[in-house]
Structure 1
């Protein structure tokens, strides 16, 4: 299954009529049965899980029928925005966690703040819950999460005398990677523009990409904390031959790992499947561990990708919609979903559900220290031009770190406050 770590996308109200997007929120039919229309995203559930859940839900709630439509990721921001502006919106929509603020700003989402207790909000993953809120109100209900881990070659670690279970801090990680980076082996393949990984190192230092004061956002890459995060990234990146001017998709880093003597990459666990597909000889030779933190007691901070469930304000059946969400995000179905799809459940107390899946369990450890990008609709403008990537390349190719950070911070400030 392909993980989508969603970033914010620019959204606009479509001028064309919404066609073939939803069958509408059907009125209760004969016998008082209500039909709840739901949009779920491609690959967020398997066909088998969807069938099992629908049958189980309808058996438990005979007064509600579920009608699920699978949506494509490409163009979904615009499609949701158009649906929210129409009178024909579905009752429940799966949205990328960092998209929720944009949709909430439009006024098109139902405020679910008063339903948090019944939806087990006390122990939601922070990286899903925080971006699901906007201006102090909860609009998005955490659905599932995925985050990056370290995928490593067991055979290369053994050859170098490195025990992955002993890597619990960033300093130990650097020492182990240095030891691995010998004899034709790349200690780590880390492209220069893997900015989500940089975000984790910045958050570990207490910094962020941007900060807000008095309703205005300001880029924060020039803070001491953020610069320390970039300095660590540079140390780690130097222990391999990753390109300094591209990201994880150019070339696809899992394919690079499959082709050569690469000891480690930073990716979601699904990347291991890509490695084996490209080099079947590596089957059984890949392992996982959480990105290490500064201290042994705390895993490294990670960007939490994944989805929230939202209810359009135009839903004709908001109570039935919340009932659907309560079931899908509740204990029983979250555990089944995590096992079926190798996801991290939406709550920290459910992490044990994936204990038997090495990749997912490593994700779950990291997810406990999950973060999201700045929670504002203006962040979409930053990602559209992404000065963070240019900043990283500039520093890695010898630019003055402080000057480059100041320039990138100014670009972030402009983008976030102009929305352009």
Structure 2
């Protein structure tokens, strides 16, 4: 998942306390290729690229100190990278001979880099890294052609942010909403008396993707080396019908997404009972309307049954090691520590992230927003695992399809048209 996708998670980084000065690269750190890699005295220098705001300065300092205490022969040098232009920078690093030893990348970017042959294959070491309980939304896009290149780092996803006062006025206990039918019933009850039951823009295709996965469908599937768009499958059509029913219980625009206008700002301005967003959206709401402090809550997007939460798009990062990296074993040690239980618990609490494995969901129990994310993350997915998916998002026929259906056009024919566009785009680079 790239920075722009993260931005769509309701200002996730900006407003959940995830933004902090995370750079140690400006002065103390250094990039690979500046002649400082290798060993410092008897210590091996390990060059690491982490992305802006993925960790706070305090967490980074604590981790470096703890890691180097446990591994005194390794000198960790972390350089903070900016999201803008990172794709080209990583591609160049992988193609050269002076790549850093560890790089943080968006989870859905791994296939792009793995296809070039520039990443270290960790398939045979997944067990050592505790991969049996990794979140699928991080682990699956971290694999390419059946091999594991990306190691899950942290995750984030959408939840339902709701007005506790409006729910109380309507006599609704949010804690009892576990299924789609219960969610629809509650939303219908809320959608009256000047209150929108939900503000759902017509082009929130990430939410639609979750509904499609709930139905057992997908955005696209691969068979025999070729991809085929699947918005016209019976499962995807049922999901779109559910989306249309839910969207009608509010006044969300049919021809724009959650960023146009910013949905958290819309919620701050009126009596809107719910939005689908990352928990950070609540901070934006309260910032814009301080009267709503203490009046916002969270629950996981409901699924088709009470025992399984709704599927969600998993955003977040994986860690990769360039095949050309000089310090392969030291890099593996770094991965094992930062993605292991102890540091994952600390990272989740410090940054309000979802830990990288299902067994650690309890680590964020004290954070209501992160706890709701963690429930959904257990049923999280990623977009189709192909380097060409970025080109689909650039055109995004899914958005046009959704608007067409919501404005009264035939769902089957519009789905077939969008599916053909996805098919053509995904196979154009084969």
Please classify the TM superposition score into its range, dividing by the shorter chain length.
Answer: over 0.9
The question of whether the paired residues in 1 share the 8 Å contact of 2:217 and 2:235 is answered with yes
Q: 1:185 to 1:168 in 2, by over 3 A?
A: same
Aligned to 1:407: 417
Q: 1:338 aligns with which of 336, 345, 348?
A: 348
Aligned to 1:279: 289
Q: 2:213 aligns with which of 194, 199, 203?
A: 203
Aligned to 1:300: 310
Cα shift at 1:30: 1.7
Instruction: Give the whole-Å Cα distance in 2 for the aligned partners of 1:386 and 1:40.
Output: 29
Normalization by structure 2: what TM-score?
0.92
Q: 2:159 aligns with which of 117, 134, 149?
A: 149
Residue by residue, what CA displacement relative to the aligned partner does 1:243-270 show, whole Å, maximum 9, x if unpaired? 0111110000011111111110000001
1:28 aligns with 2:28: no
1:124 aligns with 2:134: yes
Cα shift at 1:384: 1.2
1:61 aligns with 2:83: no
Cα shift at 1:5: 4.1
Aligned to 1:14: none
The question of whether the paired residues in 1 share the 8 Å contact of 2:31 and 2:47 is answered with no
Q: 1:220 aligns with which of 222, 225, 230?
A: 230
Normalization by structure 1: what TM-score?
0.95
Q: 1:320 aligns with which of 330, 336, 358?
A: 330
1:207 is paired with a residue whose SS is coil
Q: 2:101 aligns with which of 91, 103, 108?
A: 91
Instruction: Give the whole-Å Cα distance in 2 for the aligned partners of 1:419 and 1:351.
Output: 38
Count of matched residue pairs = 405
1:175 aligns with 2:175: no
The question of whether the paired residues in 2 share the 8 Å contact of 1:124 and 1:346 is answered with yes
Q: 1:81 aligns with which of 79, 83, 91?
A: 91
Instruction: Give the whole-Å Cα distance in 1 for the aligned partners of 2:324 and 2:69.
Output: 27
Structure 1 segments of 4+ aligned residues over 3 angstroms from their partners: 3-7, 20-25
1:269 aligns with 2:279: yes
Q: 1:192 aligns with which of 182, 202, 213?
A: 202
Instruction: Give the whole-Å Cα distance in 1 for the aligned partners of 2:341 and 2:242.
Output: 38
Cα shift at 1:23: 4.0
Cα shift at 1:22: 3.4
Aligned to 1:115: 125
Q: 1:132 to 1:79 in 2, by over 3 A?
A: same
Aligned to 1:353: 363
Cα shift at 1:356: 0.4
Q: 2:390 aligns with which of 380, 405, 413?
A: 380
Question: Unmatched 5+ residue regions in structure 2?
Answer: 8-29
Instruction: Give the whole-Å Cα distance in 2 for the aligned partners of 1:22 and 1:251.
Output: 41
Residue by residue, what CA displacement relative to the aligned partner does 1:300-337 show, whole Å, maximum 9, x if unpaired? 00000000000001100011011011110011100000
Residue by residue, what CA displacement relative to the aligned partner does 1:156-184 show, whole Å, maximum 9, x if unpaired? 10011111011110000000000000010
> Which residues of 2 match residues 7-26 of structure 1 at below 5 A?
22-23=32-33, 26=37
Instruction: Give the whole-Å Cα distance in 2 for the aligned partners of 1:282 and 1:148.
Output: 20
Question: Unmatched 5+ residue regions in structure 1?
Answer: 8-19
